[in-house]
Structure 1
Amino acid sequence: MPKTQSPKTNLYWKLYQDDPILKPGLSSPILSDPSFLFPENTIDHKWHLFAHNLFGILHYTSENGIEWSKPKSILKHAMRPFIYQELGTYYLYYEKYKPFHLLFAWWKKSKWESEIQVRTSKDLKTWSEPKTVLKPSAEFHKNQEWGSSVSNPCLVKMGSKYRLYYSSSLEYVKDCGFCEPKYISVAESSSPTGPFHIFSQPIFAPNAQDPFCNLAAGSIKVVPWRDRFLGFQTGIFWNQVRKESCSAVLFLQSEDGLRWDRINDTPILGPTAKGWKASHVYSCDVKYSESEKVFILYFNARSAAHWSKGREAIGLFVGKVEEETLPAPKTKAVKGKTPSKKSKSKLVSRKTKPVGKGSKKK
C-alpha cells in the first residue's frame, strides 16, 4: 500500500467492559453491524443505534450510550445499516436482500442478491420510501458461484461530493459455512441519495501475503480527521496459529481516502480465542466525541466460526488521541487510559480493561 505523507495519528484504545453492551434476543443468534448517532446530533438528544438480526434492522435509543432501550424493528429483509445526518435530515443506508434469504445464505444453490438502499427521516421515527442507490453492476460485485453483493455502506462528505465506501462480491469461508465481503470499493455522487458513480476498481482486495486480510477485505468505516482520513477495516483472515478463520479491526490512515497505509502493524482489536468475541471481531462504526475528546467505536463480535454454533453481540471500544495531554492516572500507568471526568454518557468514567496501542489478539 502506498504510504501517506501526514504524520501518524496514534490512538490508545481500551474496552469499555469485557461483556457485550448489547446481546441478541431469543429469536436470533446474531446482533450485528452497529451504527450510531451522538445525542448532540439527534432531535430528541438521545443516543440512537441501529443494528441487524436475522430478520431485519433494529433501532435502539439510550440516555448514556451504555444502557439501551428495547429494540424496535424498523426494516425487514435488510442488514448492515449505516446512519448519516446532515442539515436536519437523517439518512439510513443498508443492504437490502431477497425476503428471508439471510436464513439460507449458507446454501450454495440459493444465490445471494443484494443492493444498497437509503431511507430518510426528519425525526428518526417516520421514514421515507426506500431509494436504491447502488446495484451490483461491475464484475467485482459478482461471484459466479455465490451471487452478487454490494454491502456495508459508509457515507463520507468530501467537499461538495459524497463518497460511498462499500463492500462488494462474496468469498466463501469454509469453517464459517457462509460468505464474507471480498472487496472494498468506492462510489461518488453530488447528493447523499445519488446517483453514485462507481470507481473502476476496488481499493481493497484480499492478499495471500497479508496476515490480517488474506481471505477477504471485509468492510471499512472512514472518519475525516483534521487534514486526513482515518479508516477502520475489519479484514477476514486465516489464523495460522489457531488454524481457523478470524477477523479483526485494522487502523488505517489516508490523505485522499483512496490510498491507505496501516498505522499499526497489528490489529487494534481482535478475537480472544474464548468468550463472546472468541472467533471474529466484525463490522464497526466510529465517531469522535468532541465533548469527551475520545473516539467511540461500537463493534460486533462472534463467539464461534460456524453459522450453526456462533452467536454475535455488540461491544464498545474507546480511543484516546495520542497527542492530547493525559492527566496523571490514579493507578498504575497503562497505555489506553482515558481521563476520568463526569459525563452523561459514562464512557470515560467507568473503570475499564486497557488495550494498548496496536495490541495483538489471537
Structure 2
Amino acid sequence: MNQHNIYWQLYQDDPIIKPGFPSPILADPSFLFPESCPDGLWHLFAHNIFGVLEYVSEDGIQWKKKKSIVRNAMRPFIFFEDGTYYLYYEKYKFLHVLMSWFPFRKWKSRIEVKTSTDLKSWSSPKTVIIPKFSFHKDPNFGESVSNPCLVKFGSKYRMYFSSSLVMIPDCGFCEPKYITVAEANSPLGPFSYFSDPIISPNEMDPFCNLGAGSIKVIPWKGRYLGFQNGIFWNPVRKESCSAILFLQSEDGINFDRINDTPILGPTGRGWKASHVYACDVKYSEAEKIFILYFNARDKAHWTQGKEAIGLFVGKVEETKCSPKKKTTKAKPKPKAKKSKRK
C-alpha cells in the first residue's frame, strides 16, 4: 500500500490576479485546466462587485480578463462533463450587493446555472437552488444560498452550497453560516435538498466558530477531500478571520480535518492580512500537484478592505510501503533430554 504526503506552499507572495478599477474586490475563483478547454488555454471565473468575469491564461500564472459573463452574480463554480460546461453562480437583484452593506436591507439570492459547449456562447440562466428550509434563511439578514460546488457521485450529482447568513461585526457584512447538500440525476436538476446542514459553526471550534463559510470537494484516491474556509473570531488578534481547512471524507458527507490547523490562513499584514476566503482546487495527475486558487482580504471592514486572487500548490509525494519480509528462524540446536527452557 502506498502512503501519500501533501506539502503545501504559496506559489508566490503576491497576488496572481488583482481587482481592476473601480471594483475593490476580485473573489471566489473557479478554473479549468487547458486540456479541458477548446482553445487549449486556462480559464478562470471570478466575481467583482458587478458580476462574474472570465479570465484566460497560457500558463495559469499570467491572466488576462476576457469578458463579463453575467451581471449581478457572484461566487461562480465551473463544472465540465461530456463536452458541456456548466457555470453555477449566486444570483442577486440589481445593486443588491452594494445595498446589502446597509443594515436595513435583507439579502435574497438563488443559485443559477448557464451552459456552453465552446466557452464562448452561453445559454439562458436556469435556477437550480433556492432558499427552502429554515437553515437557508435568517430572520434578521435574509435568505441566502451561495458558493455552489458540483461533484459527481456515481450516477448522481451532488451540489454542495452555503446557506443562511451571519453578521461579522468588524467586517460590516454577512458571511455564510452553514454548508449543506442537494442531489440530482442531472447537473441541471431538479435537486432534492438534504434536510440538515453537513457543517455548522461551533463556538468551541477555534477555526469555525462564527460561520461555516464555503467548501470545495474533490474525489481523490478513493476518498473525498474538502477545502473549507471557516469563519472564526481570533481572540488573540481580537478580530474575525477566515482560513482554509483541509478535510477528508469516506462518503462525502461526514468530514474530518486532515490537519488540526489551517493549511492557509491570514498573515496579519500584506494583501492577505485579514481573511483567506473561498478557493477552487484540482489535482494534476501529470504533475502530481494540487492547484488551488483562492482569494484573500487585506482589511476586515468593507469600506477599507480589498480582495485579490492568489495561488497555492500542494506537492504530492508518494512513499511505497513494502510488505514486511518473512524471517526464517534458525533451527534450534539439539538439547539434552532433561533440559528445559524457562
The structural deviation recorded for 1:71 is 3.8
1:183 and 1:7 mapped to 2: Cα distance? 35
Q: TM-score normalized by structure 2? A: 0.92
Secondary structure at 1:277's aligned position in 2? coil
Is 1:184 paired with 2:183?
Answer: no
Alignment partner of 2:118 out of 110, 119, 123: 123
Larger Cα-atom Rg: 2
- Correspondences of 1:108-257 after superposition (within 5 Å): 108-257=103-252
Q: Which moved more, 1:183-192 or 1:69-78?
A: 69-78
Secondary structure at 2:98's aligned position in 1? helix
2:297 and 2:153 mapped to 1: Cα distance? 33
Q: Which residue of 2 aligns with 1:328?
A: none
Secondary structure at 1:102's aligned position in 2? helix
Alignment partner of 1:63 out of 58, 67, 77: 58
The structural deviation recorded for 1:8 is 8.4
Which protein, 1 or 2, shows the higher relative CO under an 8 Å CA cutoff with sep ≥ 6? 1
**CA spacing shift, 1:225–1:307, aligned 2, 3 Å:** same
2:65 and 2:218 mapped to 1: Cα distance? 29
2:73 and 2:152 mapped to 1: Cα distance? 24
Is 1:289 paired with 2:284?
Answer: yes
The structural deviation recorded for 1:10 is 3.9
Task: Output one character per residue of 1:291-349: Cα deviation in whole Å (capped at 9) or x when no partner.
Answer: 21100000000000000010000000000124258xxxxxxxxxxxxxxxxxxxxxxxx
Q: Which runs of 5+ in 2 are unaligned?
A: 321-342
CA RMSD of aligned residues (A): 1.3
Q: TM-score normalized by structure 1? A: 0.87
2:319 and 2:187 mapped to 1: Cα distance? 33
1:66 and 1:7 mapped to 2: Cα distance? 32
Q: Which residue of 2 aligns with 1:26?
A: 21
Q: Which residue of 2 aligns with 1:308?
A: 303
The structural deviation recorded for 1:9 is 5.4
Q: Which residue of 2 aligns with 1:87?
A: 82
The percent of aligned pairs where both chains have the same amino acid is 70
Counting matched residue pairs gives: 320
2:266 and 2:168 mapped to 1: Cα distance? 17
For the 8 Å contact 2:4–2:319, the answer to whether it is kept is: no
Q: Which residue of 1 aligns with 2:267?
A: 272
Q: Which runs of 5+ in 1 are unaligned?
A: 1-5, 326-362
Q: Which residue of 1 aligns with 2:35?
A: 40
The structural deviation recorded for 1:130 is 0.3
